[in-house]
């Protein structure tokens, strides 16, 4: 999946694209409902408990077990097919979300944000991951299955690394190390801020419209996590990506907003129309 920060940056860029395309002003409350809906998908009820005194091996094991539990939770929150649990790369089944919540998407900005998150992850796996690395078995043949996964080949330099190191977050060629570097890189590139004060302000009116797969009450936790990831990224000294290619990351952020706007144009226009009608009614009340 894309990082919390990439989801936020892609979401902000998408809202800018709407403004440029339709010359429409979206109320600030609706903007933050979208941005929070975009982030809430990655919230979790599972907590990582790391007691003092753990050895390095025990620490790695704890973190790996935590990630496995998170992946199981994502079957529901990310609308994955249950049979995909055995695959190395598990993508959201967007049609499942649309079939279940199509009435919400066209009238609620947080639901559109939820859909945008799933769409971003789907495109991230299918578009960016395929350009970045390959999953290999012990014979260095391509594999789609976790049970056979042994190595990862990084395509930018043809480097071969152990899969457990790649997904652990501990090695220099870790996927998550690149995420940390990437976070700072894209925030600076697009000149985007993460306004913690406003994010927290709008949690008051961030209400679950009826999506059962995620707990909207976890919104403060996911905001704080995103803020921490941003702070961590600005503390890192090495600004080099070891897995991803910088230009492909930028291309992806621009690409996802354009493709989402093309694919869900009718739903987005319907939502914007309703938003505009409410603005007119509100304006008349005050005149």
Torsional sign, CA 219, 224, 227, 233 = negative
Structural domain contains residue 118: yes
- The whole-angstrom separation of Cα 119 and Cα 270 is 19
- The whole-angstrom separation of Cα 254 and Cα 259 is 9
Structural domain contains residue 153: no
Give the domain range for residue 107.
4-131+197-286
Structural domain contains residue 156: no
Structural domain contains residue 121: yes
Domain tally, the chain: 1
Structural domain contains residue 119: yes
Structural domain contains residue 124: yes
CB of 95 within 8 A of CB of 88?
Answer: no
Structural domain contains residue 82: yes
Structural domain contains residue 147: no
- Can you give the pLDDT of all 287 residues of the chain as single tens digits? 789 999 999 999 999 999 999 988 899 999 999 999 999 999 988 877 777 888 877 777 887 777 777 788 899 999 999 889 899 999 999 999 999 999 999 999 999 999 999 999 999 998 899 899 999 999 999 999 999 999 999 999 999 999 988 987 667 788 989 999 999 999 999 999 899 999 999 999 999 999 999 999 999 999 999 999 999 999 988 778 999 999 999 999 999 999 999 999 999 999 998 877 655 434 344 33
Question: Measuring CA to CA, which residue among 17, 4, 38 is closest to residue 254?
Answer: 17
């Amino acid at each position: 999946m894309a990082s919390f920060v990439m989801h936020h940056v892609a979401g902000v860029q998408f809202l800018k694209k709407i403004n440029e395309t339709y010359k429409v002003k979206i109320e600030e409350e609706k903007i933050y409902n979208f941005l929070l809906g975009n982030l809430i998908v990655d919230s979790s009820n599972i907590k990582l408990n790391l007691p003092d005194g753990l050895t390095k091996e025990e620490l790695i094991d704890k973190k790996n077990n935590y990630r496995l539990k998170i992946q199981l939770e994502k079957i529901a929150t990310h609308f994955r097919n249950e049979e995909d649990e055995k695959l190395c790369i598990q993508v959201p089944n967007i049609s499942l979300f649309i079939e279940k919540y199509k009435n919400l998407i066209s009238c609620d900005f947080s639901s559109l944000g939820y859909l945008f998150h799933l769409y971003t992850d789907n495109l991230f796996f299918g578009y960016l991951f395929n350009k970045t690395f390959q999953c290999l078995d012990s014979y260095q043949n391509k594999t789609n299955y976790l049970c056979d996964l042994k190595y990862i080949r990084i395509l930018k330099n043809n480097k071969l690394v152990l899969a457990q190191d790649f997904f652990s977050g501990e090695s220099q060629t870790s996927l998550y190390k690149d995420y940390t570097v990437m976070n700072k890189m894209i925030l600076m590139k697009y000149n985007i801020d993460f306004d913690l004060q406003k994010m927290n302000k709008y949690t008051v009116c961030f209400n679950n419209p009826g999506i059962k797969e995620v707990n909207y009450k976890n919104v403060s936790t996911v905001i704080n996590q995103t803020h921490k990831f941003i702070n961590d990224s600005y503390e890192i000294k090495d600004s080099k990506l070891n897995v991803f290619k910088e230009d492909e990351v930028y291309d992806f952020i621009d690409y996802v907003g354009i493709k989402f706007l093309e694919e869900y144009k009718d739903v987005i226009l319907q939502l914007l129309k309703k938003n505009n009608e409410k603005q007119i009614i509100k304006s008349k009340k005050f005149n």
